[in-house]
C-alpha cells in the first residue's frame, strides 16, 4: 500500500491500550474480584498509546514501569504478580509502520490485527511464571495487548 493510501486507512489516529491479558485471572489490587485484564488490576501503564500518522510513522507514549514478576505460590497454587510501578517517567518510541494487508499492520516485524475500533497484538510465550522463590520457570503464557481507537 502506498504512502498516499495510508492517509485514508482506518489505523490512522490515536489508540489507547485498553486490555493487557493473559489466560489467568489475578486479583492484584485485592478487591476480591479476579480479572484477566491486568489494566483493571494494576495501576501501571494506564496511558499507553500508539499514534499512527499518515506519513507512515507510529509513535508510542507509555508510563515507565518495572517488569511484572509472575509466580505461583507453592502451598496454594495461587498465581500472583509483583508489580512495581513508576508513573513519574515516560518511555516512548517512534518507528515506521507497514500495512501488510487491509487489516494487518506491522511495526518492526510485530503483527497487529485491526478489527473495527480495536488493534490487537500477541506476544507468544512472553509471560514467564516462576515458582515462589523465582528459581524456576513453571510455565509460560501469551500476553495479548488490545488498543482501542480514541
Q: How many domains does the chain have?
A: 1
pLDDT in tens, 52-104: 999 999 998 775 566 789 999 998 888 999 887 665 656 678 899 999 998 99
Please give the span between the terminal C-alpha atoms of the chain, in angstroms, as a whole number: 24
Span 11-38, average pLDDT: 91
Look at residue 41 and tell me if it is in a domain.
yes
Look at residue 106 and tell me if it is in a domain.
yes
Look at residue 150 and tell me if it is in a domain.
no
The reported pLDDT for the residue numbered 68 is: 85
Domain extent at residue 133? 3-145
pLDDT for 33 beyond 60? yes
Look at residue 134 and tell me if it is in a domain.
yes
Span 123-128, average pLDDT: 95
Q: How far is residue 66's CA from residue 49's CA, in Å, rounded to a whole number?
A: 18
Q: What are phi and psi of 83, to 5 degrees?
A: -125, 140
Amino acid at each position: 500500500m502506498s504512502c498516499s493510501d495510508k492517509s485514508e486507512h482506518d489505523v490512522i489516529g490515536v489508540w489507547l491500550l485498553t486490555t493487557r491479558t493473559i489466560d489467568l485471572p489475578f486479583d492484584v489490587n485485592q478487591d476480591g474480584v479476579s480479572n484477566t485484564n491486568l489494566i483493571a488490576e494494576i495501576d501501571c501503564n494506564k496511558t499507553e498509546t500508539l499514534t499512527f500518522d499518515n506519513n507512515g510513522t507510529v509513535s508510542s507514549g507509555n508510563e515507565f514501569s518495572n517488569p511484572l514478576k509472575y509466580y505461583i505460590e507453592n502451598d496454594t497454587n495461587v498465581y500472583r504478580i509483583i508489580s512495581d510501578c513508576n508513573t513519574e517517567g515516560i518511555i516512548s518510541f517512534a518507528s515506521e509502520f507497514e500495512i501488510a494487508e487491509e487489516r494487518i499492520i506491522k511495526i518492526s516485524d510485530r503483527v497487529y490485527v485491526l478489527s473495527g475500533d480495536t488493534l490487537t497484538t500477541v506476544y507468544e510465550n512472553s509471560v514467564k511464571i516462576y515458582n515462589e522463590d523465582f528459581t524456576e520457570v513453571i510455565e509460560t503464557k501469551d500476553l495479548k495487548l488490545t488498543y482501542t481507537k480514541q
